[in-house]
Structure 1
Amino acid sequence: MATTPPAADGLGELMLAVTRRLRRGTAHALTPLGITPHHARALRVVERDGPMRLGRLAEALHVAPRTVTDVVDHLTESGWVERSPDPADRRATVIDVTAAGRMMAAEVEQVRRAASREIFAGLSKGDRAHLERILRDLVG
């Protein structure tokens, strides 16, 4: 007996369910490292994009500037980023990743990849390649 393909709105729900499962798995795996997904994401942005003002980080994270202040405070207290005067404007500060932050960002990346592998491990190599192609097409 043939199965009918899911409706487009069903696909969206399935995608959200997979995304939630991936987020939960990643959050659980990050717990032993002492970093939350929100802090990990901010650290990854600073590590990837280099020194920046808090406003730029807030834009990259799509959050309000006041929200990013608390995140940066935590990252600073943890020793993963440091604040310094902005060379272009003495009144402003920039944040940059520290050596410890680079190490943490690398660990976070390993955790993220492992969580992803675990989620998709049940798919055949061909199915994973097919899904990756579809998702790349959707991302555009």
Structure 2
Amino acid sequence: MTTPDPDGLLAEQLLRLTRRVHRIQKRHLQQRVVGITPAQSRLLRTLAEYEAPPRMADLAARLEVVPRAVTTLVDGLEANGVVRRVPDPANRRVIRIELTEDGRETLRELHGARRSAAEEILAPLTDEQRAVLGELLDTLVDGASARTC
């Protein structure tokens, strides 16, 4: 099988560009939502996808991280009043994580920060180029997911 990037130049360019995109996103996040890290942002967005408060193990599985990582993230978010631990009504030994009202407001701020970062990143592209980029990124992610399964 031949390698489509024998010198690794395309891979290096991809890594460099994804780091730059990440820095732009992080800058927007820090400017608009003080005290929330990118990892905490991801946890909050994931938490909002649940209809009922999930267990930490559910969050860890969805985020594809070890449960201890979720505990650390939740500790920080709870200290900021963004989430709270609540006992499961059916089994009080089980702890669930729910957003507070401050957490919902933080999510709105995160959405705005992510949107402004995307606008900055995509500003040079036409609508057609954006569509092509979206398709290419989907292909990359779907291909990577297929290889890891």
Equivalent in the alignment of 1:71: 73
CA RMSD of aligned residues (A): 1.9
Which residue type is aligned with residue 19 of structure 2? Answer: R
The correspondence of residues 16-31 of structure 1 with structure 2, limited to 5 A, is 16-31=15-30
Number of equivalences: 135
State the 1:133 CA deviation: 2.2
SS where residue 94 of structure 1 aligns? strand
Structure 2 CA distance for aligned equivalents of residues 17 and 88 of structure 1 = 49
In structure 2, runs of 5+ residues without a counterpart are 143-149
Partners of 1:117 and 1:16 in 2: how far apart? 21
Match of residue 14 from structure 2: 15
1:65-104 superposed matches below 5 A:
65-104=67-106
How far apart are the structure 1 equivalents of 2:61 and 2:72?
15
Matches within 5 A, 1:26-45: 26-32=25-31, 33-34=33-34, 35-45=36-46
Partners of 1:106 and 1:15 in 2: CA distance = 30
For 1:7 and 1:131, the matched residues in 2 are separated by 19
CA distance in structure 1 between the aligned counterparts of 2:91 and 2:18, rounded to whole angstroms: 40
User: What TM-score, normalized to structure 2?
Assistant: 0.79
Residue number in structure 1 paired with 2:48: 47
Unmatched tracts of structure 1, length 5 or more: 1-5
User: Which residue matches 1:113?
Assistant: 115
TM-score, with length taken from structure 1:
0.84
Share of identical aligned residues, percent? 41
Query: Relative to structure 2, which stretch is displaced further, 36-45 or 21-30?
Result: 21-30
State the SS of the aligned residue for 1:90: coil
Any idea what SS the aligned residue of 1:139 has?
A: helix
